[in-house]
Amino acid sequence: MQRYFISDNNWTKEQVHIDGEDRHHIVNVMRMTSGDKIICCNVDGSSYLVEITEITDDKVTGALVEALDEKQEMPVKVTIVQGLPKGDKLELIVQKGTELGMFAFIPVQMDRSIVKWDSKKESKKLSRLRKISKEAAEQSHRSKLPLIHEKHTLKEVLSENTYDHLFVASELEAKAPSEDGSFAEALKQISPGDNLLVVIGPEGGLSNDEISFLTSNQFKSIRLGPRILRTETAPLYVLSAISFYFEEWR
Amino acid sequence: MQRYFISDNNWTKEQVHIDGEDRHHIVNVMRMTSGDKIICCNVDGSSYLVEITEITDDKVTGALVEALDEKQEMPVKVTIVQGLPKGDKLELIVQKGTELGMFAFIPVQMDRSIVKWDSKKESKKLSRLRKISKEAAEQSHRSKLPLIHEKHTLKEVLSENTYDHLFVASELEAKAPSEDGSFAEALKQISPGDNLLVVIGPEGGLSNDEISFLTSNQFKSIRLGPRILRTETAPLYVLSAISFYFEEWR
């Protein structure tokens, strides 16, 4: 069934109002009419079976038929902190990360990021990333949209630190594994409901300054298998492994 | 250190000869000279530290300095059978699959594949995919190149069946999980050295005929978490989870 994420102020106790691109999609793409059913998700993560009751030029109105008890959200909240990569890799990471259950995403201009975002470019990029994430969330049947944050510095990420576990994906661990770098051991320390932060460097990896900063702030290096993963592959490995461990294994 | 995959007939007991694009890369891109060191991998999976001894217009000759004991290959051999997807998704799957340790790749024209490969298109596509895979194998420090097979039908895949375990990624399991569909339980049955085959449908999923054919041939449905993954995301989840389980967990 078609799924739409509707912002919080479009809901009443018994109805939901759908406007803008979602209205267009329902009316012109899906060609739905009164009586058709859809799923609507609120930003708070609740989702409802909705029956369309009225279609006007402005909006689609639907009646809340039933609150759904969905289980598509990861039991742990994974925030990916990604050093800005080249080209359209960020779009790939956000799309796949959304499918794979990512809770939030923070782009960081790192020392070795070749791409630079000025404020004009940033606002354009962010609205594109949020659109990609929304579409991926609808397609993958999520009930919650990932938060796509504005560009941060690493220091800003840490100053807003509300995380239970801090990890950094390490190329060094892949090349010369240490006992400390076990991703499996790291996951064993995590309980459902915990907040995780995972930092991933850009193409050239993290700089020595960045590594020092993270390790002095109690980040734990983790190994993502013995091969060297590209910057855009690392977050997909992290999220797949966490999904496997918390959603399939336990 | 720079890494090259060199075909079997270019090796002698003490030397390796490098020609074609790899010679060009060493001489013109990396601007290496006699005395410089590289890693050369044979198709059989062995790899050597090599010192360049001579550069001519035809080839680079290197002396085998030392056999390397590398551990970048997955302990289980995972073959991905992929229903032909649209656009350049196949390139993404082959590139990321190579980084994530895929042993072999078989493209299949499935009932719901929209793309059609004629024989001219196929040979062009395959050589492009093999080039992408070789580059990804070099970058990710693998010691073995994945086998990129020609287009098969599902029946042909089964007739060459030398696999210990047969899996099919199932969208149905994500929507309504069954006890049987546990990917974790499936992995527990696998031992290092085993051969696994994983079938993944194209954008529209597998047809009912294909599902019947696979289940009547003892394929086991597996669930890749509770979200619906796109066709190109499913193989990356499979390979990441297998890497995590066999290379990080055990």
- E-assigned strand segments in B69-140: 77-83, 104-108
Query: Given this model, what pLDDT does residue B118 score?
Result: 86
| Cβ atoms B192, B243 nearer than 8 A | no
A101 in reach of chain B (CB within 8 A): yes
Q: Dump pLDDT digits (tens) for A112-146.
A: 999 988 888 899 999 999 999 999 999 999 999 99
C-alpha A222/C-alpha B174 separation (Å) is 28
Three-state secondary structure call for residue A48: strand
Q: What is the arithmetic mean of pLDDT over A73-83?
A: 97
B120 in reach of chain A (CB within 8 A): no
| Residue from A233, A244, A247 to probe the interface with B (highest B Cβ count within 10 Å) | A244
CATH number of B77-249: 3.40.1280.10
C-alpha A224/C-alpha A81 separation (Å) is 16
Query: How buried is residue A3: exposed, middle or buried, by Cβ count under 10 Å (0-12/13-18/19+)?
Result: middle
Q: Read off the tokens for B197.
A: 């085959």
Nearest to B227 among A141, A226, A230 (CB): A141
Q: Dump pLDDT digits (tens) for A55-69.
A: 999 999 999 999 999
Residues B228, A140: C-beta atoms closer than 8 Å: yes
C-alpha A104/C-alpha A147 separation (Å) is 4
* Chain A residue closest in CA terms to B250: A184
Domain boundaries, chain A: 3-68, 77-249
Is A76's pLDDT higher than 90?
Answer: yes
Adjacent-strand bridge partners of A147: A104
C-alpha B90/C-alpha B223 separation (Å) is 22
Q: Band of the pLDDT at A48, cuts 50, 70, 90?
A: very high
The identity of residue B15, as a single letter, is Q
B190 in reach of chain A (CB within 8 A): no
DSSP letter for A32, please. -
The identity of residue A100, as a single letter, is L
In terms of CATH, what superfamily is B3-68? Hypothetical PUA domain-like; domain 1 (2.40.240.20)
Q: Band of the pLDDT at B170, cuts 50, 70, 90?
A: confident
B233 in reach of chain A (CB within 8 A): yes
Residues B241, A240: C-beta atoms closer than 8 Å: yes
| Cβ atoms B244, B105 nearer than 8 A | no
> DSSP per residue over B148-173, as a string?
EPPPB-HHHHHHT---SEEEEE-HHH
Better-scored residue on pLDDT, B165 or A87 = B165
Query: How buried is residue B124: exposed, middle or buried, by Cβ count under 10 Å (0-12/13-18/19+)?
Result: exposed
Q: Dump pLDDT digits (tens) for B143-164.
A: 999 999 999 999 999 998 789 9
Residues of A in contact with B175 (CB under 8 A): 141
| Cβ atoms B133, B94 nearer than 8 A | yes
Q: What is the arithmetic mean of pLDDT over B57-86?
A: 95
Query: Given this model, what pLDDT does residue B175 score?
Result: 76
Q: How far is CA B139 from CA A63, A116, A203, B87, B143, in A?
A: 54, 25, 12, 24, 11
Residues of A in contact with B142 (CB under 8 A): 227
Q: What is the arithmetic mean of pLDDT over A18-24?
A: 94
Residues of A in contact with B96 (CB under 8 A): 233, 236
Q: Dump pLDDT digits (tens) for B85-105.
A: 998 999 999 999 999 999 999
Q: Read off the tokens for B118.
A: 């004629």
Nearest to B244 among A141, A227, A244 (CB): A244
Q: Dump pLDDT digits (tens) for A148-202.
A: 999 999 999 999 878 999 999 988 777 777 777 788 999 999 999 999 999 999 9
| Cβ atoms B109, B149 nearer than 8 A | no
| Cβ atoms A36, A51 nearer than 8 A | yes
B236 in reach of chain A (CB within 8 A): yes
* Chain B residue closest in CA terms to A238: B240
